[in-house]
A and B are shown apart, each in its own frame.
Chain A
Amino acid sequence: MQTIQIDLLTALPELIVLFMAMLILLTGLFTKNNIAIYVLAQLTLLAAAFFTVGTHTPAVGYAFTGMFVDDTLSDVLKLMIYLGTAMMFVYTRHYMQLRGMFRGEYYALVLFAVLGMMIMVSGQSMLTIYMGLELLSLCLYSLVALDRDNAKSSEAAMKYFVLGALASGMMLYGMSMIYGMTGSLNISEISSALQGALSDLQGPKNPMLILGLVFIVAGLAFKFGAVPFQMWVPDVYQGAPTAITMLIGSVPKFAAFAITIRLLAQGLQPLTGEWQNMLLIMAVLSIAIGNVTAIAQSNLKRMLAYSTISHIGFLLFGLMSGNLNGYASSMFYMTAYVLMTLAGFGMILLLSRKRFEADTLDDLKGLNQRSKLAAFMMLITMFSMAGVPPTIGFWAKFTVLQAAWQAGFGWAVVFAVLMAAVGAFYYLRIVKLMYFDAPKQTGAFNTPFDAPMDMQIVLSINALALLAFGLLPQTLMSICGAAIVRSLQ
């Protein structure tokens, strides 16, 4: 009995989120006051953050017979997930209210998704990781279809569901092969089994092992949206309600990053040489295809989808370095990316109205004449995404490419820099549209924003944070570095 009590305490934040998600589900049945549910959801994240910090120890703690791990990496990533989700709740409240999707189920499903991410982040067994992944994916599929009278949303949800199920299947298949070769589901046991038995299994050339690795990498790449598993990204980004696109594009990437670290950098660490090459191919292709295709887009959400693909390519550069420095730079990149995504989609939400989505490039024309502040925030966001120096986006790209350079991927780094220059075109095009083009004179377009004040304030802080972290990147970098070093050494 004693052990089980200790176990539950280690997973206290998860239990809080689970309990509150169910409570919100029930509250939604009995109350018409949806603001109360919104406040409840925000309080849940706050409480989870409080207990995550409260139960934090520098040491690595295990629970549930080694299936659950509580280390610095998981704590830091969980805090980032809470923060990102809380910001998303602030940004999307008004949007959902206007479209009749402001219901208890929305918050319950998002909190269940958060729970899935937390489980993934803390997964120390392939079984736990897979369960967390399924929990997250299932919530996301249904959230995409939340606007159920919208044919585009339903189509996007269907594509996402079918391809996502396929990817989950591939990953599970890979996991089963690794399990077959090592005899364990536990990440650290897999690592030691591989290390010990590499000579018996004819070294890393054992076909079964490599096949399992390929399937796992393919599954991970799908969840990230890296080329050649990117086909779902543009359609889902464009088809889903903007609020849900914002969710899909932001915090789940933390969870995907975490399971990549757990599976590749911890569990399959002895096979580093093998997966490095796979990640290299995906990284180079993602940056190239993402940046080049984004130029041709006229829909802002679709353009940001291709931009995501290219960002994932940069992220993979850090991961494929295969050392702690590289992982830390990847984590830094991930944080920067999520902040930028939240700001970018936040701006689309800010400009949207009832029955008006503001998701085409034309809608941004002459934004400066309508609101100097909004145009400036978007300017910072776009500069950051492009990687222009005084913003966080520059440091993110810089550290990742530096790590890859040190790991000996010289030509790939040169290629990535060239592609980043290509990518700068479509980010700066938005700046040009906002500042130098005349506004479109149609409809409700020239009225002031009807978004609530709290959203405008948080969005401003978000955009300014991109600049602030760009001027002072040291704090965030050292947090990422410490999290990786403490957990992986």
Chain B
Amino acid sequence: MMIFTDFVFYTLAAILLFASIRVITTRNPVHAALHLVLAFFTAAGIWLLLEAEFLAIALVLVYVGAVMVLFLFVVMMLDINIDKLREGFWEYLPMAGTIGLLMAVEMVMVLAGKSTGGKYFSAGRALVHSADYSNTTELGRVLYTDYLLPFELASVVLLVAIVAAIVLTLRDRKESKSMNPADQVLVKKADRLRIVKMDAVVEVAPVEMQNLEEKS
């Protein structure tokens, strides 16, 4: 059993690494976005292994289902020239490489350093829960009891974000030709149709006039 979960973990991790690398190396932005979707999906799989079901489902639903689809739309609509974005890649590489190396060294020092005694690597398996334990239930319980106030505040913050976005962008467009159904229903015959009384004058067409002249 242990061996099987290990096998699943390493497979998912390998796919995740591959997908992440492809995100930044591929030349086609659509491919990059699709690889990012794959990376999210695989990460969700790893979270499932860690018994964080809610996070895993949220990641798939929110990021794969909503954010990335939107992102794909944007990428497909905008004509992004990837070669232009890559200009100066070699120029920045030494600096970026140094910083990346530094970060890697720092991480190794924290994770395997003497002061922490490498305890993060040697730690045993995470807490094993009973079969009826539900990650989602526990999260919901905490969210609506202990953290009720910050949770509700977060919703207010989101509401303000929506209001602010609309206030700053919505404009009544003068040239808009959109129709208002309510006005359409309320329209009366008198608004559209105008009956004009005119004198009964018969106009004579020019051709007939000519004929008449010839005849006379």
Interface residues of A (CB under 8 A from B): 4, 11, 18, 22, 25, 63-65, 67-68, 103, 105, 108-109, 112, 115, 119, 125, 127-128, 131-132, 134-135, 138-139, 141-142, 145-146, 148
Contact = CB atoms under 8 A, between A and B. Distances in A.
Contacts of B149: 11, 63-64, 67-68, 128, 131
Nearest to B164: A142
> Size range of the interface on B?
10 to 19
Main SS of chain A's interface residues?
helix
B160 interface: yes
A131 B150 contact: yes
Contacts, number: 63
B156 A127 contact: no
A127 B163 contact: no
A108 B164 CA distance: 10
B186 interface: no
Given A65-B145, A127-B147, A135 B167 contact: no
Interface string B150-177: 1001101101110110111000000000
A287 B41 CA distance: 54
A22 B153 CA distance: 14
B160 A139 contact: yes
A134 B149 CA distance: 14
A135 B150 contact: no
Contacts of B147: 67, 127
Contacts of B156: 18, 112, 115, 135
A139 B164 contact: yes
Given A65-B148, A109-B167, 13 more contacts: A22-B159, A25-B163, A64-B148, A67-B147, A103-B167, A112-B156, A127-B150, A131-B149, A131-B150, A131-B157, A134-B157, A135-B153, A135-B156
A171 to B, nearest CB: 15
A119 B153 contact: yes
Interface string B11-54: 00000000000000000000000000000000000000000000
A131 B154 CA distance: 7
Contact of A142 (B148, B153, B154, B168): B168
Given A131-B153, A132-B153, A142-B167, A109 B148 contact: no
Nearest to B161: A138
Nearest to A65: B146
Interface of B: 145-150, 153-154, 156-157, 159-161, 163-164, 166-168
A135 B157 contact: yes
A145 to B, nearest CB: 6
Nearest to A101: B167
A115 B168 CA distance: 21
Contacts of B160: 109, 112, 135, 138-139, 142
A64 B146 CA distance: 7
A25 B168 CA distance: 15
Given A65-B145, A115-B156, A131-B157, A138 B164 contact: yes
12 contacts: A65-B146, A68-B149, A108-B163, A109-B163, A125-B150, A128-B149, A128-B153, A131-B149, A138-B161, A146-B167, A146-B168, A148-B168
B121 to A, nearest CB: 19
Contacts of B159: 22, 112
A197 B175 CA distance: 68
Contacts of A115: 156
A125 B151 CA distance: 13
A115 B147 CA distance: 18
Contacts of A112: 156, 159-160, 163
B80 to A, nearest CB: 24
Contacts of A109: 160, 163-164, 167
